[in-house]
Amino acid sequence: MDKFKDFKENLPDWVNEENFELYKMRHTAEHVLHLAVTELFPEVKRAMGPPIEDGFYFDFDPGSIKITEEDLEKIERKMQEIVKQNLPIIREEISIADAKILFEGNEYKLEWISEFEKDSETVTVYWTGEPNKEGSDVDLCKGPHVESTKNIGHFKLLSIAGAYWRGDEKNKMLTRIYATTFKNKKDLEDFLEKRKLAEERNHRKIGKEMDLYAIFPEIGQGLPVWLPNGYAMRRVLEDYMLDLERKHGYVHMLTPHINKAELFEKSGHLGFYKESMYAPMQIDDETFYLKPMNCPAGMMVYNMDLRSYRDLPMKMGELGTVYRYEKSGELHGLQRVRGFTQNDAHIFCTQGQLESQFMEVMDMMNTFYKDIGFKDYYFRLSLSDPKNKEKYCGDPEAWKKVEDIMRKVLEKNHIEFKEASGEAAFYGPKIDVQAINVFGKEDSISTNQVDFNLPERFDLTYVDENGEKKRPFVIHRALIGSFERFFAFLIEYYGGAFPLWFAPEQIRILPISDKNVEYANKVDSILKKEGRKMNLWIRSSVDERSETLQSKVRDSEIAKVPYTLIVGGREEEKDQVSVRARGKGDLGAVSLNNFKEKLLEEINSKALNLWE
């Protein structure tokens, strides 16, 4: 029926020839869903709903009724009835005028039609069942679809949520039903198992349970507040990253949160990025914007002085907070926010230094991922589209040289990577690290990208060995990316059970009775003092509550504390601690000195666990 080649240009990026059939099944299942809902609840108005990477959803205006989670089973049964009817899915092209009549009374469909009307005299609709016959259904749709309702595979309705019409909080709140479908039952069962794991490890759930971050409506949606536990982790990783960069010759700077409009005019952001920027502020007859990126200010710092080839490579890092206006319907915990801090760096170098700089960044990436404990990841090389040269700024020959160098560096490092032709930004090719979570979710973490745009816009130069002015190459480099998005991935990857070296609370000391509180505090003091000697921040605490020991142990396990130390009269007498390790249980009593040495070794080595 609907073929990949006929729809390729209008499909989402994640759809390819291999998963095209599954995409069609989900698209058709979406039509079966809204037919089932409208049969059960005739008052609702259908709005919109696309297939997505792991399923599909549809938005409805429920009117005066309320559709709840309890209704999903009933809707599923109705969908099964529709599937058994084996209704054909039929495409029809109709005039704009006929479409307005067909969808009269549905303001959501009429809004779409009015937009299509600007570019076309016709629209396409798909019928579920024979067109214009009793019991058939029609919806405004571009397709593609499978041939019949019986071909939508094994499906499951997943959840209900609220969603603003077209993701804009200024619009009406609609009811959204999420669902999925797969070709066979096993694939569906595997997905549901992974989804269950994903829900258990959801960073918003764990973030709340462990007091890592919070979002207050009074402060603003999409503007997370790092709570003491979360900030303790973040601070450890900030210090780690600053130290790693210093070891590789980086210097660090900090630029203001707001910049004048003329800076963003020069960088081009006001020309192509304004919709994602916060509204301007008028101060002393000048216009300012919250910065959406750190790069323009970084270019200004480079241009402060006349640079020589002897100054290059020049590597400047910044933990810079930026602000981007995201629609409220698209905000999601720490993954999609309006204010976030980037682990930014800009490397200014000559063409001859490009390979060595890429090699160094790859070395830094390998060190970082080993220390953080990530093992399941690959590299993606995003290249220009050779058939669409006008899309990109800069010299095509320079692009080719840089792309060849990037490929060479990846090959030299014997790294698994995938090439993505046409996925480069207009200003330069890039290498992304795609890390994969335990339930198969993939996220871009690190980025290493050449920029052919800003050096021209800011007229960056250096004087070469012949006294001639040349244009430096600029590499944007972010190992962590944004701390917020990285932490969302990190929380879900570990399920809150973080490695010792960056866990928010590393040790909890439990006195068996009030008589042992003094010794518990002594242990706490000794551990922190020994940590300071080695320039380490030991995050330990004493639980002095009047609770049973069993209750305290359980609370420590719920908090996912790596080590719980139990101290009583016997431990105090022998200068010992009884050790419980997260995930391993009781390890027995050891001398305080032995525990201290093991603890410091594990933190310094960033090992996952030295206790067996």
Catalytic residues: 295, 324, 342, 344, 346, 430, 476
Residues with Cβ < 8 Å from 250, sequence gap 6 or more?
315, 316, 317, 345
DSSP 198-212: HHHT-HHHHHHHTT-
Q: How many CA atoms lie within 13 A of 522 on its CB side?
A: 14
Question: Would you mind telling me the total number of residues written for the chain in this entry?
Answer: 612
CB 409 within 8 A of CB 466: no
DSSP lists the bridge partners of residue 122 as 95
Nearest to 298 by CA among 324, 316, 321: 316
Residues with Cβ < 8 Å from 106, sequence gap 6 or more?
45, 46
C-alpha span between 45 and 251 (Å, rounded): 58
C-alpha span between 464 and 307 (Å, rounded): 9
C-alpha span between 600 and 501 (Å, rounded): 9
Q: What is the helix (H) or strand (E) element at residue 588, kind and residue range?
A: strand 585-591
DSSP 400: H
- Cα 468 versus chain centre, distance: 44
CB 505 within 8 A of CB 497: no
Residues with Cβ < 8 Å from 554, sequence gap 6 or more?
none
Q: Is-cis flag, bond preceding 313, omega within 30?
A: yes
Q: Furthest-apart CA pair in the chain: how many Å? A: 91
> What b/e sequence results for 327-350 when a residue is b if at least 16 CB atoms lie within 10 Å of its CB, and e otherwise?
bebebebbbbbbbbbbbbbbbbbb
Place of tokens 């059970």: 497
Strand segments (E) across 261-397? 281-283, 286-290, 314-323, 339-349, 377-383
* Helix pair 396-412, 354-372: axis angle to 10 deg: 40
Residues with Cβ < 8 Å from 336, sequence gap 6 or more?
222, 326, 330
Q: ∠ CA 278-280-284 to the nearest 5 degrees?
A: 145
Residues with Cβ < 8 Å from 603, sequence gap 6 or more?
500, 501, 506, 531, 536, 538
Distances (CA, A) of 264 to 277, 337, 376, 452: 10, 21, 38, 17
Pairing of strands 462-463, 122-128: unpaired
Nearest to 46 by CA among 105, 94, 89, 113: 105
Structure tokens given for 196: 């269950």
Strand segments (E) across 404-482? 417-421, 430-436, 442-451, 462-463, 469-470, 473-478
